[in-house]
Amino acid sequence: MLHVIFCEPEIPGNSGAAIRLSACTGSMLHLVEPLGFDMDDTKLRRAGLDYHDLAHVKVHPNLDDAFAEIPGRIWAFTGHASTMYSDIRYEDGDGLLFGRESVGLSEDAMHHPRVKSCVRIHMMPGIRSLNLANSASIALYEAWRQLGFSGAV
């Protein structure tokens, strides 16, 4: 199983889309508090449609608690890296770490002892960032592709 970690997400629609992503890929979604929304938020439920019961989602009080449940390596996604996400050889159990929509990952998160490396997604120059849920989708599908789309139809 692959793991997606949203560290302090702020926008309910992005986490709702990630819930749907989790259900569609069989991945585990870890949401690290504080959350910028309530888990019963209407926008979160709407974005996740009827996939909430099919997804694997857990809310954690802090990053250490989330990392304790991830057996593999942690890849931190940031625009402040030179290694591209497509150059990584992902393994079953790996975690894909993403930061807040407004500011990305903190320095502490990027340099956490569990983080194997910081990686980035290709973009045109001068653009600040991709949408959080879109970034998670791009990275997760590349990792899952490398693992042979295990369990998919």
Q: What is the pLDDT of residues 95-135, one digit of tens each?
A: 999 999 999 999 999 999 999 999 999 999 999 889 999 99
Checking if the pLDDT of 48 tops 60, the result is no
The answer to the question of residue 153 being in a domain is: no
Checking if the pLDDT of 36 tops 80, the result is yes
Q: What is the pLDDT of residue 135?
A: 98
Q: What is the pLDDT of residue 53?
A: 78
Range of the domain at 122: 3-146
The model's pTM is 0.94
The answer to the question of residue 66 being in a domain is: yes
CATH at residue 11: 3.40.1280.10
Measured CA to CA, the distance from residue 56 to residue 50 in angstroms comes to 13
Q: How confident is the model at residue 49 (pLDDT cuts 50, 70, 90)?
A: low
Measured CA to CA, the distance from residue 71 to residue 24 in angstroms comes to 21
Q: What is the mean pLDDT of residues 36-58?
A: 77
The answer to the question of residue 152 being in a domain is: no
The answer to the question of residue 17 being in a domain is: yes
Q: What is the pLDDT of residue 40?
A: 80
The answer to the question of residue 128 being in a domain is: yes
92 contact partners, CB below 8 Å, separation of at least 6 = 1, 2, 72, 147, 150
The answer to the question of residue 34 being in a domain is: yes
Q: How many domains is the chain partitioned into structurally?
A: 1
